[in-house]
């Protein structure tokens, strides 16, 4: 179960908590209304979001973060290091976007007995390639959600992967329209499903 920070129906919390493995994002805004089970927290380990989380005692003490067995860093350090110079020209206002905090998340995991998973640039680049089929407007990087979907489909190929709380909206430099289309393509292919209203169709991988 991959739980985004979008709207979640009250009746879905129990379904989320009944999953075998629940992934939430960053500050676990889905925690509470979207259930409480948290096995992994996927974090943006670069730029301002990373700095804010690591510097926040509230984040470190959040029950979702505390209970998680794994922290997934979604931004490959090598990939982001290579992006720094081009971004300095195209988006000078994002001067701290590529600042890397992977080592700090590694230390946090070591201190708290968690496993640290760094999602590699091959996943990021495969997502870029998949998104290109939908002719996205110019963007900087895929969202954390899309990277985590790709990682889950790669790592848990035989599992039923379900999305909850995914509105596919947010920061202007993520390709959300193309990401929605890509997620829908995975759903149509039976690799993914959504936990919401009329789109609640049960697929199992390989069916």
Residues with Cβ within 8 Å of 122's Cβ and at least 6 positions away in sequence, in order, are none
Tokens of 90: 């195209």
User: Would you say residue 172 has pLDDT above 70?
Assistant: yes
Kindly write down the DSSP assignment for every residue of 111-152, as one continuous string.
HHT-EEEE--HHHHHHHHHHHGGG-PPS-SS--HHHHHHHHH
Q: Sign of the C-alpha dihedral, residues 178, 8, 145, 170?
A: positive
Q: What is the pTM of this model?
A: 0.91
* Long-range CB contacts for residues 35-38, cutoff 8 Å, separation at least 24: 35/3, 36/63, 36/64, 36/67, 37/67, 38/63, 38/64, 38/65, 38/67, 38/68
Question: Counting beta carbons within 10 angstroms of the beta carbon of residue 60, is it exposed (0 to 12), middle (13 to 18) or buried (19 or more)?
Answer: middle
Residues with Cβ within 8 Å of 57's Cβ and at least 6 positions away in sequence, in order, are none
**What's the CA gap between 19 and 134, in Å, rounded?**
31
Between residues 205 and 133, the one the model is more confident about: 133
Interval 14-42: pLDDT, tens: 999 999 999 999 999 999 999 999 999 99
Kindly write down the DSSP assignment for every residue of 67-82, as one continuous string.
H-SEEEE-S-HHHHHH
Interval 49-95: pLDDT, tens: 999 999 999 999 999 999 999 999 999 999 989 988 988 888 888 88
3-state percent helix, strand, coil for the chain, nearest multiple of 5: 45, 15, 40
**What's the CA gap between 120 and 101, in Å, rounded?**
15
Grade residue 104 by pLDDT with cuts at 50, 70 and 90.
very high
Contact (CB, 8 A) for 195 and 17? no
Per-residue confidence (pLDDT) for residue 87, from 0 to 100: 80
């Amino acid at each position: 179960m991959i739980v985004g920070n979008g709207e979640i129906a009250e009746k879905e919390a129990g379904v989320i908590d009944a999953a075998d493995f629940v992934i939430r994002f960053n500050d676990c805004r889905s925690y509470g209304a979207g259930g409480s089970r948290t096995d992994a927290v996927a974090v943006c380990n670069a730029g301002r979001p990373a700095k804010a989380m690591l510097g926040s005692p509230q984040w470190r003490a959040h029950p979702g973060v505390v209970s998680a067995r794994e922290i997934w860093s979604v931004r490959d350090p090598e990939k982001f290091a290579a992006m720094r110079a081009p971004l300095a020209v195209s988006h000078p206002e994002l001067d701290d976007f590529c600042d890397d905090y992977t080592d700090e998340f590694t230390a946090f995991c070591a201190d708290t007995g968690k496993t640290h998973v760094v999602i590699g640039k091959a996943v990021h680049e495969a997502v870029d390639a998949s998104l290109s089929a939908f002719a996205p407007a110019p963007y900087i990087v895929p969202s954390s959600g899309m990277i985590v979907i790709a990682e889950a489909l790669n790592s848990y190929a035989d599992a039923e992967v379900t999305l909850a709380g995914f509105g596919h909206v947010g920061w202007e430099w993520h390709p959300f329209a193309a990401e929605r289309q890509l997620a829908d393509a995975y759903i149509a292919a039976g690799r993914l499903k959504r936990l919401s209203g009329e789109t609640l169709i049960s697929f199992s991988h390989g069916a």
